[in-house]
Structure 1
Amino acid sequence: MRIGFPISPEGPGGVRTWVKIFSDYCIAKGDAVSYSISDPVDVFITLANLSSLSKLKEHKERGAKIIHRMDGIFFKYLYDDQNYIKKFNQEIRDSIEIADLVIYQSDFSKKITSFLFDGKDIPGVIIYNGADPNIFKQEGSILSRPDNKKIVLSIAYWGTPLMADYSIKNILAVASSLRERKDIEFWILGAAYPKTEKFIHEAALPNVTRYELRNPVKHENMPEYIRTADIILHIRPNEACSNLIIEALHVGKPVVGLDLGGTSEVLGDAGLTAQCVQSFETFPEVNVKDLTGKIEKTLQEYDHYKVKVKERAQLFLQEEMCGKYYEQINTLMNT
């Protein structure tokens, strides 16, 4: 069997990470893979708006089965130019309409897909993301860090400039509210933009002790960063199924996030989420006081959450995730 993907696995971002993980799994099963939109394949797995309708039709005409792996839609707040949003969302809708199967990353992902179809439920299968416990594990090297401080780490491929600005400003607001806590410091890492990094520099908060937004953190280095931290602060709103959260669970690090998207769905009772004003039109307003309180509560009950995250991690195993996708492919090919 030959399985196609619309994007190379090389580079930053959760989409490429997933393509790398699942294509490696398929190769190990003895299948061939392609990272070209044009190569003839038996099954083509498309993601986001990465495949044009005309190319998908070509695959269908050659007899290929189409799977759309659904993450999320393009929310209006991601770009100033709303024509981009309409175009991208239409491309996702076209891809779903032509697909033989839709696989959702979470229940939230399934719910927001209905927004593209005037509230109509689009049938599909929910398969959560997973991490490799042999890579994302508690044991291993850590980075240099102070022994007398608690490290709150925010690390991501920060997305569009507007998303990056929103995320970093909220992190800085939390850090500012905790500036009197001499035992807590914040690290902000990942790929963003010079303007976004400038916000951190201008804030000049004494408890933001490490930041670097000029270079993405390689996925293979993520376990070391997560192990070094005490808490992962996940600030991106309306994510379907965050790889970072799942990876932190496996490393055994508590997560504090926002009560939006699939975050609570993934965390369950293993982590705390802060109140937000839900919105898909504008960036959700974060209750910074509540978010600050959730960080402090997590530190107060740290041993409790350490146990919970280890238990929760077993629901998100990479091998099981790949197996479920592979099972869906084989079922599709035999119908």
Structure 2
Amino acid sequence: MKCHCIFKFVTESAGGGNAFLTNLVNDFESKGRYTQNPEQAQIFLMNSHHNVEKVLTYRRKYPDHLFVHRIDGPMKSYNKIKDWRDDIVRFVNHYVADATIFQSQWSKLENQRLKLTNTALSTVIPNAPNPVIFNTQQRNMFLSDRKPRLIASSWSTNWKKGFKTLDWLDKNLDFDKYDMTFIGNSPVSFKNIRHIPPVQSLDMASWLKQSDVYIFTSAIEACSNALLEALHCGVPVVGVNSSSNPEFIGQGGELYNDPSEIPYKIGKIFKNYSVYQKSIQNPRLSEIGDQYYDFMETCVNAQKNSLMKRLGNLRYVQIKCLVLAWKIFGKLEAMRQ
């Protein structure tokens, strides 16, 4: 069985979904599980609210094929409560998808609470970064005779990424004791934290491998690629205790509920650094790829004696109109701003 991903891939940096799906497709291709030709596919993987027009076309063209929906969010959790993307996800999941892949237990529970999903078959499979780039090779060892190096990062300037906490650290962390670097975009002008503009993945991995502890301040995450990149580089994490973060940090770091706890949590890690580092447990991309394919095989076998979803004319028009309205609304918002 071969899979085809209905997604508009781009080569430049374009968000976590693009990065993960690119890596997943590469893994599938290396194992003979992927086809670029939809005519040769038995399974279609679609992502969140993306490329819906093509999803609808393929659902009608290949009514007896399996359509698996990878979703994150809910996007209402960290964006506007009136985020139309969740409505698109709900319609696609209810009327197009045969199975659902959630990226974390938290995301699954939140999507189900908001009644955004409706497939008989579902599972939870996290993401994993590119293992060629994000790994523990050539990682600098932590040395107690130098200042510990802290690092944080964010591509987004959304305040919900934890910039109030980073601002607090900039004003309150003991910089005679620690060095700290922030990489990415920030609405805060730091006075003590070194600010590096966004860098490409290879450079990001290099910065992570030179650092000792990753400070993760984003409170609402379905499955943060930035967090996983740090962990896969062997960097213990001090992260905010919310959403999916505890699922991935596990014993490989410490959780905080208030910014004032962060200095203590950092110190706690450095007292037993090797223990925390050895406790980092996150599956590699090859394992994640196997989990995806095994789930898809299970779904195909389960659906052999039952009909796949049929996309009627009414639902087809409804979803197309919703996507069109969302695009128009987005352009109007951009013009206002």
Q: TM-score range by the shorter chain?
A: 0.7 to 0.9
Deviation at 1:173, TM superposition (A): 0.7
Partners of 1:77 and 1:162 within 8 A in 2: no
Q: Distance in 1 between matches of 2:259 and 2:146?
A: 25
Cα distance change of structure 1 residues 306 and 26 upon mapping to structure 2, 3 Å threshold:
closer
Partners of 1:128 and 1:321 within 8 A in 2: yes
Q: Distance in 2 between matches of 1:40 and 1:32?
A: 7
SS at match of 1:49: coil
**1:25 alignment partner, one of 14, 24, 27:** 27
Q: Distance in 1 between matches of 2:3 and 2:146?
A: 53
Amino acid at match of 1:300: K
What TM-score do you get using the length of structure 2 for normalisation? 0.77
SS at match of 2:251: helix
Is residue 231 from structure 1 mapped to residue 231 from structure 2 by the alignment? no
Is residue 172 from structure 1 mapped to residue 167 from structure 2 by the alignment? yes
Root mean square deviation, CA, Å: 2.8
Deviation at 1:58, TM superposition (A): 2.1
Give the structure 1 partner of residue 239 of structure 2: 257
Q: Distance in 2 between matches of 1:156 and 1:300?
A: 27
Q: Distance in 2 between matches of 1:33 and 1:10?
A: 16
Partners of 1:9 and 1:19 within 8 A in 2: no
Partners of 1:4 and 1:39 within 8 A in 2: no
Q: Residue deviations 1:271-318, cap 9 Å, x none? A: 11111xxxxxxxxxxx11123322232223323212222xx24xx121
Give the structure 2 partner of residue 139 of structure 1: 137
Deviation at 1:4, TM superposition (A): 2.3
Partners of 1:130 and 1:320 within 8 A in 2: no
Partners of 1:44 and 1:65 within 8 A in 2: yes
Cα distance change of structure 1 residues 138 and 32 upon mapping to structure 2, 3 Å threshold:
same
Q: Distance in 2 between matches of 1:261 and 1:6?
A: 26
Deviation at 1:131, TM superposition (A): 4.2
Counterparts of 1:116-131 in structure 2 under 5 Å?
116-117=114-115, 123-131=121-129
**1:152 alignment partner, one of 141, 145, 150:** 150
Give the structure 1 partner of residue 277 of structure 2: 306
Q: Residue deviations 1:22-59, cap 9 Å, x none? A: 1112222333237xxx999543322222132x543322
Partners of 2:133 and 2:201 within 8 A in 1: no
Give the structure 1 partner of residue 195 of structure 2: 211
Amino acid at match of 2:16: G
Counterparts of 1:1-335 in structure 2 under 5 Å?
1=2, 3-12=4-13, 13-30=15-32, 31-33=34-36, 42-52=42-52, 54-63=53-62, 64-75=65-76, 77-79=78-80, 82-83=81-82, 85=83, 87-97=84-94, 98-117=96-115, 123-131=121-129, 135-140=133-138, 148-158=146-156, 161-163=157-159, 166-178=161-173, 180-190=174-184, 192=185, 196-197=186-187, 199-200=188-189, 203=190, 205-206=191-192, 208=193, 210-213=194-197, 215=198, 217-275=199-257, 287-309=258-280, 312-313=281-282, 316-334=283-301, 335=304
Give the structure 1 partner of residue 327 of structure 2: none
Deviation at 1:182, TM superposition (A): 0.5
Q: Residue deviations 1:64-88, cap 9 Å, x none? A: 4211112211125524xx54x1x11
Q: Distance in 2 between matches of 1:11 and 1:222?
A: 15
Cα distance change of structure 1 residues 124 and 24 upon mapping to structure 2, 3 Å threshold:
same
Q: Distance in 1 between matches of 2:271 and 2:139?
A: 26
Cα distance change of structure 1 residues 291 and 238 upon mapping to structure 2, 3 Å threshold:
same
Q: Distance in 2 between matches of 1:259 and 1:76?
A: 16
Q: Distance in 1 between matches of 2:279 and 2:139?
A: 23
Amino acid at match of 2:158: L
SS at match of 1:32: coil
**How many residues of Structure 1 are paired with residues of Structure 2 in the alignment?**
292
Identity of aligned residues (%): 21
Q: Which of the pair has the greater relative contact order for Cα pairs under 8 Å at 6+ separation?
A: 2
Partners of 2:100 and 2:119 within 8 A in 1: no
What TM-score do you get using the length of structure 1 for normalisation? 0.77
Q: Distance in 2 between matches of 1:333 and 1:123?
A: 10
Q: Distance in 1 between matches of 2:120 and 2:76?
A: 19
Q: Distance in 1 between matches of 2:154 and 2:92?
A: 27
Partners of 1:150 and 1:185 within 8 A in 2: yes
Q: Distance in 2 between matches of 1:126 and 1:2?
A: 19
SS at match of 1:237: coil
Partners of 2:98 and 2:119 within 8 A in 1: no
Task: For structure 1, list consecutive stretches of 5 or more residues without a partner in the other structure.
Answer: 276-286
Amino acid at match of 1:177: N
